[in-house]
């Protein structure tokens, strides 16, 4: 949350140079407060587990957040009971006339499938176009980040020689950006994917800004100039056991996977994993909610998109 001070306090100007948000009394007096409306398009197979992961992170904020869970039309989920979806989710076609302060689109296990071959690509493309005029800021996770980069900027991913699986150090490269405010210079994040977009492709688009990256993982955190699109190529939302669950699933399927890197104690899958990314995950979601949603969205939701 912003700190509120007297307009003329000298610290206001000094902190502004550092990109620290300070709310003056005059602005605070004119503010109206209402709950934020956040939609989640959950594309993960185990939707219940993903709901818990995301809601845990979104709840770590003093802001009041109203959540709406969205599902694709005409897409059958094989791993989540239909009764759960019918009770807690709404079809996109039922909410597309609405506007939201924020939208989160999750990853999906489609790392080796061409985007155009994904059965629900036409509706996902429709949702991405809709978000630009009906959502203040959209946060894309893992597969959704690469899919959105392809849709908006034509950036085609490359398939790695082997799956990237483990917990990897990332370096902050834009420390004054509000999205990484409070981050350490280096921090850990889980990754679980086959795809990667080469750095030179990002650099060809002036509207794209890489905020954190690593040689081994490529760009991890990106945003567009307005902050209305935030791309996260890893899985900060993962629980302690998620990478292990994926590893054991691949072992059972006879895929002979590599042991997830920097995850198990002493890199031994017989030992318990360590959760070393939780503080970063909470801070990332808190910064996104505060600086890119709460501070950017209009009080009247119907004004979203009018100035874009």
Binding site, annotated residues for substrate: 163, 192, 249
Point out the annotated binding site: 163, 192, 249
Sheet holding 65-71, edge to edge: 89-91, 65-71, 36-41, 100-105, 135-141, 229-232, 218-224, 208-214, 158-172, 186-196
How many C-beta neighbours within 10 Å does residue 78 have? 5
Active-site residue, from 142, 177, 209, 246: 142
Annotated catalytic residue, options 51, 237, 246, 280? 237
Output b/e per residue, 212-243; b: 16+ Cβ within 10 A: bbbeebbbbbbbbeebbbbbbbbbbbbbeebb
The reply to whether 79 belongs to the active site is no
Q: Verify whether residue 98 is a known catalytic residue.
A: no
66, two tokens: 């109203």
Annotated active-site residue 237? The verdict is yes
What span, in angstroms and rounded, lies between the C-alpha atoms of 26 and 30? 7
Q: Which of 146, 191, 209, 235 is flagged as catalytic?
A: 235
Q: Catalytic positions, please?
A: 142, 235, 237
């Amino acid at each position: 949350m912003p700190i509120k001070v007297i307009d003329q306090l000298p610290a206001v100007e000094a902190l502004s140079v550092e990109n620290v948000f300070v709310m003056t009394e005059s602005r605070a007096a004119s503010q109206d407060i209402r709950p934020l409306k956040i939609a989640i398009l959950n594309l993960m197979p185990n939707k219940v587990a993903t709901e818990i992961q995301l809601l845990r992170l979104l709840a770590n904020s003093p802001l009041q957040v109203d959540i709406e869970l969205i599902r694709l039309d005409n897409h059958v989920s094989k791993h989540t009971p239909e009764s759960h979806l019918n009770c807690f989710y709404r079809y996109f076609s039922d909410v597309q006339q609405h506007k939201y302060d924020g939208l989160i689109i999750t990853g999906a296990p489609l790392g080796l499938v061409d985007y155009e071959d994904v059965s629900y690509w036409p509706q996902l493309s429709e949702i991405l176009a809709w978000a630009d005029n009906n959502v203040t800021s959209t946060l894309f996770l893992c597969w959704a980040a690469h899919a959105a980069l392809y849709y908006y900027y034509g950036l085609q991913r490359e398939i790695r020689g082997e799956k990237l699986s483990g917990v990897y150090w990332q370096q902050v490269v834009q420390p004054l950006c509000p999205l990484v405010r409070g981050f350490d210079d280096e921090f850990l994040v889980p990754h679980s994917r086959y795809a990667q977009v080469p750095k030179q492709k990002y650099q060809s688009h002036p509207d794209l800004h890489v905020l954190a990256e690593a040689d081994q993982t490529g760009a991890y955190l990106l945003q567009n100039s307005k902050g209305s699109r935030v791309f996260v190529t890893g899985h900060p939302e993962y629980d302690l056991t998620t990478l292990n669950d994926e590893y054991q699933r691949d072992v059972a399927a006879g895929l002979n996977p590599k042991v997830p890197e920097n995850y198990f104690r002493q890199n031994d899958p017989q030992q318990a994993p360590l959760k070393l990314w939780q503080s970063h995950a909470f801070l990332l979601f808190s910064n996104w909610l505060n600086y890119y949603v709460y501070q950017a969205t209009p009080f009247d939701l119907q004004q979203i998109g009018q100035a874009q």
